[in-house]
Structure 1
Amino acid sequence: MNEPAITPEIIAKHGLTPDEYERIQKILGRDPNFTELGVFSVMWSEHCSYKNSKPELRKFPTTGDTVLVKAGEENAGVIDVGDGWAVAFKMESHNHPSAVEPFQGAATGVGGIIRDIFTMGARPVFNLNSLRFGDIRGDSAEARTNRRLFAGVVSGIAHYGNCIGIPTIGGEVYFDESYSGNPLVNVFCLGVLKHEEIARGAASGIGNPVFYVGAETGRDGLAGAAFASRDLTEESKQDRPAVQVGDPFREKLLLEACLELLASGCVAGIQDMGAAGLTCSTCETASRGGTGVEIDLALVPKRETGMTPYETLLSESQERMLVIVKKGQEDSVRQIFEKWDLPYAEIGTVKDDGFMRVKENGVTVVEIPARSLADEAPIYNREVSEKNLPAPFDAATLPETDVTAALVALMSHPSLASKRWVWRQYDHMVRLGATVLPGSDAAVFIVREANKILAATSDCNAIYCRLDPREGAKVAVAEAARNLACSGAVPLAVTDNLNFGNPHKPENFLMLREAVEGLAEACREFNTPVTGGNVSLYNESPNGTIDPTPTVGMVGQIADIKHVTTQAFKAAGDVILLLGQLGDEIGGSHYLKVVHGQKAGLPPRLDYATEKALHNGVREIIRKGLVQSAHDLSEGGIAVAVAESSLSAKPALGASIDLGPTGLRPDVALFNESQSRIIVSVTSDNAAEAESVLKSLGVPVQRIGTVNSTGTLQIAADGKSYSWQLSDLETAWGETIGKLME
């Protein structure tokens, strides 16, 4: 074979260091050939091996009474939800591909996370996403690029989810200059299954045949895992072959075929061909099973001629699966694949020697110990810089602002404005399970086959994490749990997506370590084990490094349909209660950023006992049937939260709020982001009982106003009154993103 000679330049181009290359030579007892170098390159990339982050990930709590499949064991974790039913869920990123080709990058990200779920034997039932882009306002070239990326990503997500028939029922979208040139596309999928249906990704059974099924292999997505493990540069535009092309209709066939196949009892092991394609699925199944796998690339279905072994192994063409079949069941497997009109081939056999052995027309082109690839990549403990937190922010240094104008500015900022332009493109009603439409604190979905009500949310305040990554990560977990509590749910478990910059920079690795330790601590406090997730490093562009963004996806369960609660006010005359203290922490707030152009100060501090008491309190009054609406106070503080509850009502309902004597500047009182706060509305008949229950549970509560039908929002504090027309706030909040994207 005419392969390129391996030179120091070729080694470096594959993202391998001289020390790593020397380690490869010792493993093999010889020099690798070019194809083997490519195999090591993708499997030892950060994207596949987590070689820079694995020591940090070991800090997460991963066990619990409900955990059926732990983080790292399989493609996704699995959690018991009772009565023999379970859920499999996970979050993944497709950041770099989406920066280069937003539509296909986002679409194939959705396809990949869906495959991770049905590979577990679960039927996918809904998706969420967490998206971050640069500023989309203005006419600069950068703003136009950010709008193009935003439009492309949303279209790609909508296309794939809508075509395959899996609803996208919630998520979040933020806009900040740190993401210009490097958007974040984090996608989440949840599926349901019975305990006995859990599938494993191990190549078990010596002599069992290995089948390839799904789309034919092409040159798209070539070495995508390695592409995702380096910084984005201007030259990244030339990496379009590292961006896959998705086919949701083919994936639908693959999904149904795999679920039927798993139910047939013919399968000994199954693995998605995700990052690193055939390479990862072959060596990972062998390593998990303590076996070896031998395949012949000449048997692999291909859609392009003249593909080399290097290209075939490293291709990340979508909608493909590797299946270990129980010997003697081959004909049954073929019948299922033919029924679903899927390309397939028997391409190899499970061996007993522990090797990943790849042949081309019978000639061996790769022979590597499987564990060396899948589980024994080099692990690094990167250097960290000294921790240096900002000083608390002194609000007295801020110039006086017009509070009335400030609320309009906050409501119209794309990060806080309504995301209806986004979710109207998603078919969130397919399967008829979405009982809470996108836009409330948490998505709620009824799984009718299991008679279970699930709630899910994704959360992260990256400004907090930039200023104090440990505290910001703790708040991300707390806010996710608070959002679930506002919906009536008890949290079950967490998946996360750790989005950070180049780990070789000590300041970046410090942020990663601090954030992981904050997440781990908070997950232990809220009894939400981490079931898995994704690490996406090297999120840098010529514009700089992104703000650290450890996104938290949390799933909860609601016991009774009567407990499902939304953030929208329900009726004029209802009493509005503030649960928790008014607060005074302005550091790291969206008010500082939007109105004063500053990311500064310490973000708000989190007290676990106070936060957990708040969650228990709001769930208790929901269970007692006392709550009309519940909404957590987060970005923008109490003024934004009340405005959102007003505008979420259909038709909109106003509110009259009186915070009484606060002793604070008006802007601090209205826009601070102190934690552990929720506003609820209750009928006037239930107000006293709700207050009594909350006080008995140690939750501070005060009546702050009433819901009205006057078409206005009025807020008074310290004898000063402010008023807004709901029609003006609706224009600012509801129409901003749509107008920007016209």
Structure 2
Amino acid sequence: MSEQFNIDTVENAAATPDVELPWAELGLKQNEYEEILTILGRRPTAAELAMYSVMWSEHCSYKSTKVHLRQFGQKLTEEMKKDMLVGIGENAGVTDLGDGWAVTFKIESHNSPSFVEPHQGAATGIGGIVRDIISMGARPVAVMDPLRFGAIDHPDSQRVVHGVVSGIGSYGNSLGLPNIGGETIFDPVYQGNPLVNALAVGVLRHEDLRLANASGVGNRIVLFGARTGGDGIGGASVLASESFDDTKPSKRPAVQVGDPFAEKVLIECCLELFKNSLVEGIQDLGAAGISCATSELASNGEGGMQVELTDVLLRDPTLTPGEILMSESQERMMAVVRPDNVEAFEAFMAHWGVEYSWLGEVTDTNRLIITWKGEVIVDVDPKTVAHDGPVYDRPYHRPSYQDALVADRFRDSAAGADLPSSGEDLRAAVLELMAAPNMCDKSWITRQYDRYVGGNTALAAPDDAGVIRVDEETGMGVGLATDANGRYAYLDPYAGAQLALAESYRNVATTGAVPMAVSDCLNYGSPEDPEVMWQLAEGIRGLSDACMELGVPVTGGNVSLYNSTGSTAIHPTPVVATLGRFDDVSRRTPSGFTADADGQAVYLMGVTRDELDGSEFAHLRGHLGGVPPKVDLAAEKLLGDLLINASRDGMIDAAHDLSEGGLAATLSEMVLRFGVGARVSLDEVLERDGVDLFTALFSESQARAVVAVPRTEEVRFKDMTSARNFPVARIGVVDRASEALDVQGAFSLPIAELREAWESTLPTHFG
């Protein structure tokens, strides 16, 4: 295309209505392009087309999910709102912790980039979510990473796993942020579409809270941090710059390139700016780059904005205006600064060695006007770009295969025949389970992350939740857990989303933290497929209903769609992160039996049912069908309350939830955590719940936990559970001397043998 088109002005656009623009190549639908023509009353310029294409993409606009996501706000009760300082709609949600402290957290996806270029895709996923936290006025204090890869033995898994793990580790470690947890799941359904979700949490004083808006006529607009390059152009719409100029010699990289050391400087610089009240509003530059930052700041503000794009500092002088607007180069922030603070702002930039450029100012026009060498190339109502884009109420219906899937129960299948029953067979089954890719030791991954940098980590992987101290003086802190089970959600999308929340909520409660807020990352296939859209609609409905019943609001999150390999979608995977509050993190409860717990009573809390459909054991036998475990949110809430109170009052010294792998996995992980054994008898459970020993060990019934209770606290513990009418069974004792998991009447499994099976899987496959 011509140089004239590359600097296509509004005046030229109005004078040349018949010029063909590459709207389809940029991911826009015909009806969307026609809507842009109506909004503008003319054809868009090349720069305007770039802005609309990325801001109206699924990733930025939520156009297929807005009609469903509204439920999170509609189902908010007054009680749920009381601690919410900032909810959905800003860069991250903010929750009041008390004593003037607040916490902000959010989880997002970087799935496709992490398949294309695993190291940089994962690294910049960390960088982007951390900048969301900075933009709220907070200091980032920790990150987490829920990961899902293809089959562990697939040749391409080597490339993806090594790249993703090294990217997360190198970026997070360089920032000095502890990685305190997450998940790692292997399943062939994710082979061509791994899920790399990233969570960051930050803390702030109430007075430091900042929002993304541009208000105050005459206030200056500044872009600071790294220079803008050609990396990441069109990342939000998975497109590159040939859409603008086919004469370019090569396609620009669609995956951003990160510099964690530049981001670390940016963090400290921003915190100093906040401390000295030098910015009125701030926005990080992530997906859609300058297009997003300018349109969202202007749309959220009280007026408009005028920007001169030629003032943007570039790494690549050949970039066109559209490419500059679309570039997703990392480590950049845009801020609004009062004129009287300009000199002080520049002094801080000089102090930290951060480059910056003044781009324009806030106006009273209610328009976003962008010029290039003084000529207007963008003249839009920013709300039409950032917030008033297309909204689709897409058709959806229950899949035709769902009835047959639900009817295919594990117990009735060939895979469910001849299940282990003898002691020796059960022993072998436990070893097989704990060596399985989804249950095995993940320290090959987590040891590449620094979990304790900063000195405020109270718990980290492999404990049930990560725990970070917020206030050194009082010991106040937060606990965080992320969970999802794609198999459950495939069998029943509504219940599957609720089970993800239930497990995340339960994991936080086992450490002793009071659950307060939720962030979600909804990973699904194509919304244009009515069967996938049904999964998504049911998932959102299930999660919003469960949040209302448990009393925890969704404060923010992300929707990641089009996660498919060809026409095959991933399992619906709604990853749910729950945040809880500690008055004092010194009271946190670890997830394993400690040496000091020798002789303590081991209790199973909750009821065991014959619930093996979608279980890890069924997965090992190659079966997926039936119905997932029953959701009982009232029981989950009651269990959580009991665990929190017992932890606070010193009634338990260890606690671990039951989820994937059931009781067999929980007991194994509890003895492996610190190398302390246990003697267990399940006779009471078998008689009370009417299950056989195999079911007692491998069922994945929910609302259950195992706790270690000091002998001096047994009466108080049983009185508390009896008063709340919550079922518990005394199933054994912690036995340090045994150095084994001993299930009496069935088998004894030395910890050393269990550990060998548990620890060898990832090193065997990945070195």
TM-score (norm 1): 0.95
Identity of aligned residues (%): 42
Residue 292 of structure 1, CA deviation:
1.4
Distance change (3 Å), C-alpha of 1:228 and 1:187: farther
Corresponding pairs, count: 723
Q: Distance in 1 between matches of 2:630 and 2:20?
A: 49
Q: Residues 178 and 543 of structure 1 are in contact (CA less than 8 Å); yes or no, is this contact kept in structure 2?
A: no
2:628 equivalent among 580, 600, 603: 603
* Structure 1 residue aligned with 2:94: 78
* Structure 1 residue aligned with 2:418: 400
* Structure 2 gaps, min length 5: 7-15, 241-249, 420-424
**Range with bigger deviation, 616-625 or 39-48:** 616-625
Q: Distance in 2 between matches of 1:380 and 1:65?
A: 32
Q: Distance in 2 between matches of 1:203 and 1:449?
A: 35
* Structure 2 residue aligned with 1:91: 107
Q: Which amino acid aligns with 2:131?
A: R
* Structure 2 residue aligned with 1:2: 4
SS of the residue corresponding to residue 191 of structure 1 reads strand
* Structure 1 residue aligned with 2:483: 459
Q: Distance in 2 between matches of 1:632 and 1:89?
A: 23
**Range with bigger deviation, 388-397 or 274-283:** 388-397
Q: Distance in 1 between matches of 2:227 and 2:159?
A: 30
Residue 255 of structure 1, CA deviation:
1.1
* Structure 2 residue aligned with 1:736: 761
Q: Distance in 2 between matches of 1:374 and 1:25?
A: 16
Residue 347 of structure 1, CA deviation:
1.1
Distance change (3 Å), C-alpha of 1:728 and 1:511: same
Matches within 5 A, 1:137-536: 137=153, 143-227=154-238, 241-386=253-398, 388=402, 390-391=406-407, 393=409, 395=411, 397=413, 398-401=416-419, 402-449=425-472, 451=474, 452-536=476-560
Write the deviation string for residues 101-151 of structure 1: whole angstroms up to 9, x where unpaired.
0100010010011110011100111111111000112xxxxx121122111
Distance change (3 Å), C-alpha of 1:449 and 1:203: farther
* Structure 2 residue aligned with 1:585: 611
Q: Residues 394 and 527 of structure 2 are in contact (CA less than 8 Å); yes or no, is this contact kept in structure 1?
A: yes
Distance change (3 Å), C-alpha of 1:702 and 1:540: same
Q: Distance in 1 between matches of 2:68 and 2:473?
A: 36
Residue 294 of structure 1, CA deviation:
1.3
Q: Distance in 1 between matches of 2:483 and 2:317?
A: 45
Q: In the alignment, does 2:719 pair up with 1:692? A: yes
Q: In the alignment, does 2:678 pair up with 1:647? A: no
Q: Residues 678 and 732 of structure 2 are in contact (CA less than 8 Å); yes or no, is this contact kept in structure 1?
A: no
Residue 435 of structure 1, CA deviation:
1.1
**Range with bigger deviation, 477-486 or 613-622:** 613-622
Residue 191 of structure 1, CA deviation:
0.7
- Compute the RMSD of aligned alpha carbons: 1.8
Residue 367 of structure 1, CA deviation:
1.5
Q: Distance in 2 between matches of 1:58 and 1:548?
A: 20
Residue 240 of structure 1, CA deviation:
6.6
**Range with bigger deviation, 421-430 or 54-63:** 54-63
* Structure 1 residue aligned with 2:81: 64
* Structure 2 residue aligned with 1:140: none
Q: Residues 109 and 558 of structure 2 are in contact (CA less than 8 Å); yes or no, is this contact kept in structure 1?
A: yes
Distance change (3 Å), C-alpha of 1:347 and 1:575: same
Q: Distance in 2 between matches of 1:290 and 1:20?
A: 27
Q: Distance in 2 between matches of 1:625 and 1:733?
A: 31
Residue 562 of structure 1, CA deviation:
4.6
Q: Distance in 1 between matches of 2:506 and 2:417?
A: 33
Q: Distance in 2 between matches of 1:219 and 1:438?
A: 37
* Structure 1 residue aligned with 2:140: 124
Distance change (3 Å), C-alpha of 1:362 and 1:477: same
Residue 31 of structure 1, CA deviation:
0.8
Distance change (3 Å), C-alpha of 1:228 and 1:630: farther
Q: Residues 85 and 192 of structure 1 are in contact (CA less than 8 Å); yes or no, is this contact kept in structure 2?
A: yes
* Structure 2 residue aligned with 1:30: 42
Q: Distance in 2 between matches of 1:283 and 1:624?
A: 51
* Structure 1 residue aligned with 2:245: none
Q: Which amino acid aligns with 2:490?
A: R
Residue 614 of structure 1, CA deviation:
1.4
Q: Distance in 1 between matches of 2:487 and 2:501?
A: 15
Residue 282 of structure 1, CA deviation:
0.4
SS of the residue corresponding to residue 58 of structure 1 reads helix
Distance change (3 Å), C-alpha of 1:30 and 1:177: same
Q: Distance in 2 between matches of 1:561 and 1:599?
A: 40
**Range with bigger deviation, 40-49 or 264-273:** 264-273
SS of the residue corresponding to residue 516 of structure 2 reads strand
SS of the residue corresponding to residue 329 of structure 1 reads helix
Q: Residues 410 and 618 of structure 2 are in contact (CA less than 8 Å); yes or no, is this contact kept in structure 1?
A: no
SS of the residue corresponding to residue 125 of structure 1 reads strand
Q: Distance in 1 between matches of 2:62 and 2:49?
A: 18
Q: In the alignment, does 2:676 pair up with 1:658? A: no
Residue 34 of structure 1, CA deviation:
2.1
Write the deviation string for residues 410-446 of structure 1: whole angstroms up to 9, x where unpaired.
1111111111111101111111011113101111111
Q: Residues 85 and 450 of structure 1 are in contact (CA less than 8 Å); yes or no, is this contact kept in structure 2?
A: no
Q: Distance in 1 between matches of 2:306 and 2:21?
A: 31
Q: Which amino acid aligns with 1:597?
A: G
SS of the residue corresponding to residue 456 of structure 1 reads strand
Residue 653 of structure 1, CA deviation:
2.2
Q: Which amino acid aligns with 2:764?
A: K
Residue 731 of structure 1, CA deviation:
1.2
* Structure 1 gaps, min length 5: 138-142, 230-237
Q: Residues 433 and 448 of structure 1 are in contact (CA less than 8 Å); yes or no, is this contact kept in structure 2?
A: no
Q: Which amino acid aligns with 1:78?
A: V
Q: In the alignment, does 2:571 pair up with 1:560? A: no
Q: Residues 181 and 543 of structure 1 are in contact (CA less than 8 Å); yes or no, is this contact kept in structure 2?
A: no
Residue 196 of structure 1, CA deviation:
1.2
Q: In the alignment, does 2:75 pair up with 1:47? A: no
Q: Which amino acid aligns with 1:89?
A: F
Write the deviation string for residues 649-673 of structure 1: whole angstroms up to 9, x where unpaired.
2x34243333344443432221011
Q: Distance in 2 between matches of 1:668 and 1:55?
A: 41
Q: Distance in 2 between matches of 1:167 and 1:239?
A: 36
